[in-house]
Structure 1
Amino acid sequence: MEHMPAVLVLLALLGAAFGENDYHFMENPSNITSSLGKDIVLRCSVKVKEIFPDVEWLHNGEPLEFADINQIQMPWDEEDEWLAISELSIPSMQLLDSGHYRCSVTVEGEEILSEEAYLELEGLPIFLEEPQDLHTYPDQPFNLSCHAQGPPDPVYVIWLQDGAPLNSLNDVLALTPSFLEIRGLNKSSLISCEAHNAKGVTTSRTATIKVLPEKPRDLQLLSQSPTELEISWEPGRSGVHPQYVCTVQASLPHSGFSTHPHHKIYNQNLNVPPHSHVIGSLTPYTTYNVRVACLSSEGVSHWTDWVAMETAEGVPAGPPENVTVTTNGTITIVRWTEPQSPINGILQGYKLAYRIKELEEVVVDAGLTYKDILEIHHPEDLTVRVASYTNAGDGPWSDPVTVSIKYDASTPFSSAVVKVNAAPLFSWHWWYVALAVAVAFFCAFCIAIFLARIRKKETRYGEAFEPTVEQGELVVHYRVKKSYSRRTTEATLNRLGISNDLKEKLRDVMVDRHKLALGKTLGEGEFGSVMEGQLNQDDYILKVAVKTMKIAICTRTEMEDFLSEAVCMKEFDHPNVMRLIGVCLQNTENEGYPSPVVILPFMKHGDLHSFLLYSRLGDTPLFLPTQTLVKFMTDIASGMAYLSSKNFIHRDLAARNCMLNENMNVSVADFGLSKKIYNGDYYRQGRIAKMPVKWIAIESLADRVYTTKSDVWSFGVTMWEIATRGQTPYPGVENSEIYDYLQQGNRLKQPPDCLDGLYELMSSCWQLNSKNRPSFDTLYSELEKIIKNLPPIKDPEEILYVNMEDASSPLSEELGELGAVGGQDAKDLGDDLFFKAGPVTAEVHHSENSNRYVMCPAHETTRLLGTTTSTEHPSYSSELEEGTVEEVVTSRSSRQ
């Protein structure tokens, strides 16, 4: 500080020496036009004489306090002159960074300014406000807003509902900010907006507008009993989404609805219609609050208001307490107290019953008092009991009290010996019954052991040897009492060590391996092969398809699981579910467990995917009308509804796993039994295994969780396969990209000739929340309605089927009769078929984060007034149908 005056004097002398200062800017900042996210550098330089000034940057006339400024100073050509260079760096250009910039230098109190430069931001529109998700009710109006800005301006907005534009660029709605007024919807919709400016188009997030059911109306009590309330209600409107479940709740007043056991709550989910219900297990003469809410595929309605309802009176729950008897030989006084158990109504009084020795019992009404006086002269062995009653009837009687009199004339009332008659703890009558049952069980056990030994001997040796003399020689006859199949099967099962109960259930499932003749191979995959075979029945030979497994069974538990599954599947009886003929066990070279062989019906026309592919890409393409395609879908939905009712999860539903019989009816195949075998490798977590990722539900890709609703997702993809006549789902999307593609909200696009109602139905199968997907029963009903509403086929003679057994067909040769039986094992050959059959054109969408995409008119696509003009995209061959879940997970992890 002490040197500051000297410095000021020096500056003054220098100023006087040079006259007016020689500061001036050699380089001024330049005008720049940039776009969002780019890095910008502004530069200026000033020439000075021996002085090192600080160059300051101004933004719209205000100093930049926290800017990234780099300043250097270097000698100039002339003596005693310096050049100060300052650079302003702006990383990742944002909208607030645009404006006027200039440099400023202050020397001797004088500010010197550079020329002003303008930093302009141009690019695609930026959304300040986007449509948000909304829950609404049928025909209820609501508003959505969309606000975007440039530069460059102006920005126009086009609203889209389910992909269809609602306005044009010349419409009033195109002015930003734009407010969309919806007068009401009857079905859930997806609404987004597009912002247009001179640089291109930006798409907002997609808002999901769910149409929820209105809350039920007119909740009322129909009838009541001591433990039940019968109620009814009217369902609220739900648009096109039917209500299929309603929830009824009942609670005690002032307790609310909680899970506390003392609140005696009632919570029940009901399938509707009918819109009525009987609430049971209630307490008599009690007021309950009741409410109802209903559920559609889109969500849950609001609850109705609580409605108070009262159960009818009941009888008392317990007998009166503390029954005592006193007597003087002539007068007997009986006393008691009120029951401790609930009265369940309004107490009307007490009834007293008494009996002397073997005389008939007498019942008297004692009213609301707690004692009664009996005038009985010298009673002997008096028995008394008491009960309370309400308007609903008598409650339980108290335990009988027996009084033996010991009379003493010196006292007005003698004491009495009170004996309570209790039921005996032991009864000879029941002991005899128990003894007889025990003896019967012991005899049955002995007989079972005896028969088991005889059966084991018969299985090993047949009937006892019977030596006889024939033609002078000793001959031993050996006649097998059981069939060869039975003996061989039982011997095999005995070696496996499975339970006797399971062996008994396998009577109609197991088939002797020697009765099965194998023919040519129909298809071979990674986990097994499918072969043509002949099963020798007692009276005829049946042509079958034989499925052999390459997966080894290593433990007794795995074998029991496999055979238990076979027992269950043998009971399946549905025209749209592949029937299991039987299972046999084929001994292997090692001494481990035998290899399972599954026997299925031979399906003449092969699998559905090959049939659809041939109809489109064969030498003589066939026209399949919509009626036929929907019929295929209906058959599959019917079969899957049956399987889901049996609590079976398919996990690999696809067109390749559905078979066509001689009547062109579709049957669901390749389920259950093979999946139990594949549990070792095919679906095991943590193992690299091939899986049909393009058919698997999004939650199954993420968590390996399979439910009936994940089968519904696969059914939607199968419907898309049928509607496109065998195309591979998600053309142009790699298997490793499927999870991210679905997570961003993308789904399969509507096929060109697919009905709107049909596409809406398959889209409902791809709801992100599995609970919102329809059941197979609902899908079957909706498909039946679609078939009924379709016009009749005009020219039925043209509706032909493909004979997959035609050896002259080139496609049949390529398939190698692969479709004789469906399933995972056979489909690997089908993957190569897609490349041989020819390319399938696919539209490629480039997606960014948050479901956004950018279209630049100068390069790819221009969208004006709802029309699209695109540059040509290359054709894409269908991708492999399968991938590994590990690929999907690895791809997702790398992105994260």
Structure 2
Amino acid sequence: MKPLLWVVVVALRSLTGSCGSGVLFTKHPSNQTVSQGNKVSLGCAVEGLTEPDIIWMKDGEKLYSTDQVFLTLGEQHWETSHSVKSVQQQDAGQYWCVVESHDQMFSSERAWITVEGVPHFIQEPQDVATFPSIPFNLSCAAVGPPEPVEVLWWLGGVQEGGPQQSPSVLHVPGVNSSIKFYCEAKNTRGISVSRTGTVHIKVLPAAPVDLQLLRITDNNVTLSWKPGFMGYSELSTCVIQVVRVSGRRWNLPQQEVQVPPHIHTLTGLRSHSNYSLRVSCANEVGASPFSPWLTFITPESVPSVAPRNLSFELSGQNLSLQWARLKEDELQGKLLAYKLQWTHGGEPQEPLLFKENSTPTLDAARFFNASIQVAACTAVGCGPWSPSVLVMPASAPVQVQRSRMWVGLLLGLLVATIVGLLLTIAAQRREKETKFGSAFKAPGPESSVFFTAARSFSRNVADLHESTLDSLCISSELKNKLQDVLISERLLTLGHMLGKGEFGSVREAILKTDDSSMQKVAVKVLKSDITSSGDIEQCLKEAAYMRDFHHPNVIKLIGVSLHRRPGQRLPIPMVVLPFMKHGDLHTFLLLSRLGDEPFDLSLQTLVQFMLDIARGMEYLSSKSIIHRDLAARNCMLNENMSVCVADFGLSKKIYSGDYYRQGSVSKLPVKWIALESLADNVYTTQSDVWAFGVTMWEIMTRGQTPYPGVENSEIYEFLIKGERLKKPADCREDIYEIMHRCWSPVPKCRPSFLQLVVQLETLHLSLSPATPLKEPLLYVNLEGDNSETDREEGAVGARILGPEATSEGSNWSVPWQRQAEDEEKDWLMVGSGAALAIGGDYRYIVGPCGAIAEEAEEVGSVGRRGDLANGPVDELRDEDDDVVIKV
């Protein structure tokens, strides 16, 4: 019966979510299917632990969330959630949460997030290299959801066949010239365009280039070269031709080598010789022309042989020596001298040097009974010695004297032995005695160290002192700029996260003002593990920029606050900004086209967006500020649907001249960057005008990615050839003319922001000359609030707003906007018992403060910073919007 009882217990535990050891999951994540760009949230609750560390998992790997909030549901009962503000395809997968107790890991049930959106490619067509009229295939595959996905091919600008189910293979019977191609993938959500590929015709390669010598010795040479144009076909072999010039031309056998690598060592060369060589490489079509000749001289070496036929002549008291000359090939260099070495009485004598192959008359008596050798010498050194010759009179008996040095050798060994013994004895007797105890007090049974503490502290201090700018190691200039905008931390109550980035997060917050009223704001918070004063100073520089901004279309700084952390030397800076209720312009435009409830935007509304941005940029340019990252994602929509230019992470103030030169390696949004900035890294107000033209194109296309089908690495070549963004569908000619003038290759020929404001004001008045108020707009739920009120309104569908809704002091009655009553309830909850974690000991994980000021230049993914001003993070951007530009 016991086994059966155990099975019943296990079954009951699985039904109730019990993990054993008193740990019980009371809430599990649930399967969800959402549209691309919408918000999704998963919940998980666990009971039975005092302070659990609940970790979210995705497809078997930990999720390092920066906005995880723990809520207390009861004693030892905790709830947490994981949310994504703007879902992308990469967010799809299987999610669950785990918790650790008594060295055991327990898991909740698993749930799937399915993301519906435009198709994304899992296989894009690649470049093809082929011979003329040879058939080949092109492959393209894309998936949803939703399914099915149809693929349409374009070859040379002409549609090939009809739609095919993905994956698709296009059979091409052959081409005779280079041609471009790409595929389109379509489902019920929209159309995606693949990369543009090219069909290349294989041809003969060009001659190798940059032929050079890497290393050269007397008879070995290592050379390298680079392949020229390879003819769209891999090189297989290279041929090296070598010629030696020595009086007449000697063609050496050519050598064939396999490539890569494009490097080879020639061996068996002669020293001090003239050579020429050249290289040709071949692909499957044939061999390339030869490279130009490379001429070199091998270095000198020592002579290869000793002088031959060494002999002497005695004539009375005169002695002369002679020997045969060495040949040129035997010398292996330029002869400097012949060296004569001689030994007399067993002792070596001072050598003699002679220019010729014979000696002048010498004193015979000096050389009697001497042994003589000779060698030839070049600048490198001397060659081998000739056999020795003993100089003796012809009538004297030949005696070979042997020098015996046994006595000297024995005496030397005896002295060395005695010295070694003395050194050994001295080393054994030497001792070092160090008594460390006497450094503190006299010797005794114990040693004590007496000291006076320089600082005392307690890790359990409940009340932290208020932080000031003096506690930060920042420059005096920056401190003075921010002194009068410092806000006490006690006046802020943080709420849920609006966005996150590489270095921080943006959160909703309530700010208590001097008159005890409440104001909803957005707070940029630097990531808690960034603790250096340099990082903090970078974070505060953007706040210093915004401090002096006073314009309705430019976001303005409210203040700066400092959060003091227990046990940490430096506080976390928090930048307080106005709350932008309707998020960033790019997300708004995308949702108008791709959201669950698409809505129309009139031309007058779109032009009003452009006009607001132009007014804000005209104000910044008058303040000598270059934005350098103007795009729809960095423009925010306030409660009146007016656009404010935001995110000054890459901005620079011009102190002299009229341009700024980028001097470091940065990751920048190349599809918004002006032509001269891509070429020379020079940024001016005119380069901001170029970016404004691209932003106009974004607005007219309602959030499409610029230059569809053009790779980031191809943007510069695309623009330098005179190509520009095409006129959007349903775009008026006069509007396209304005944006096209912003893309003039000559910066001075582009309109100024003041001229753009005048032109857009005129255009806006012509669209509605009798009604200056904004016309009715159709909206959908952007914030995705789950309140009952919003669900009821969402069921009704989109709502039309009249001009009276925009009047000052009135509330926008739109489905995504919380009612004032709901907002009050929400913030009462955040500021009370359920949010003690936020107001007290920061039980949530503090997220980063965003890529702020110079930090964005060094690390940057400019297009993906989640701290873009104060609205929903731009997560709908093309993955390839950024590319690293190295300076």
TM-score after normalising by structure 2: 0.36
| Larger relative contact order, structure 1 or 2 (CA cutoff 8 Å, min sep 6) | 2
Which entry has the higher C-alpha Rg, 1 or 2? 1
TM-score after normalising by structure 1: 0.35
